[in-house]
Amino acid sequence: MDAALETQSGYRTDAQGRLVPESLIKPVDKIRDELVVDIVERAKELSIRLAKFKVSVLQDSRAFVQLSAEQYGVSLGGKKGNVTLYSFDSKYKIQLTVAENIQFDERLQAAKALIDECINEWARNSSDEIKVLVQDAFQTDKEGRISTGRVLGLRRLEIVDEKWLQAMRAIGESVQVIGSKEYIRFYERVEGADQYSPVSLDIAAL
């Protein structure tokens, strides 16, 4: 039943889906309900406008990047990677970035087994810090996902051990790029400085 019809017929639906007579609802509860519904509906409209704005800006910016490349006889095709565009006076800049969605395949389990063997073999001589670092890297979040950043960070450790190096190769080969997402950010130069301040479109940051 439509909310407006329910109100006209003298009833409103509560959180349990029950029809409650308007006469039994306190005035302050009615006012709160109307306020929340109105604000959220306006927020939804703004969200739609922002989504359309993002699509439009990405299309226009990528089209310009392609136009610029064509000056040199180059056709980029597909997503163009990370780009920064400046206004003529450098007062404003736009950053376009492509973030890859990375996951690991089954070879990560082989890498973990090799690392465990290394830790066991080094038990007496390895530092507690390395043990904690490795254990932390393979912890999962609430959704059961492993942090790609922490796992890939293990490859930066300067450990010269054939089994460890084999594990690092397995980690590298287990990486699978399953998709990507484009982001766009806007900046304005701080007056009298070389630094830029972000133009926030996050309502929580305003």
Contact 73, 157 (CB under 8 A): no
pLDDT value, residue 80: 58
Best CA proximity match to 146, nearest among 173, 109, 117, 178: 109
Amino acid found at 174: S
Q: What pTM, to 2 d.p., does this model score?
A: 0.62
Encoding tokens for residue 96? 């376009």
pLDDT value, residue 124: 65
Q: What is the spatial distance between Cα 179 and Cα 103, in angstroms, rounded to a whole number?
A: 10
pLDDT value, residue 90: 93
- List of the chain residues with pLDDT < 50: 1-6
Q: Dump the DSSP string for 68-136.
A: HHHTTT----S----EEEE-TTSSEEEEEEEEEEEEE-THHHHHHHHHHHHHHHTTTTS-HHHHHHHHH
pLDDT value, residue 66: 85
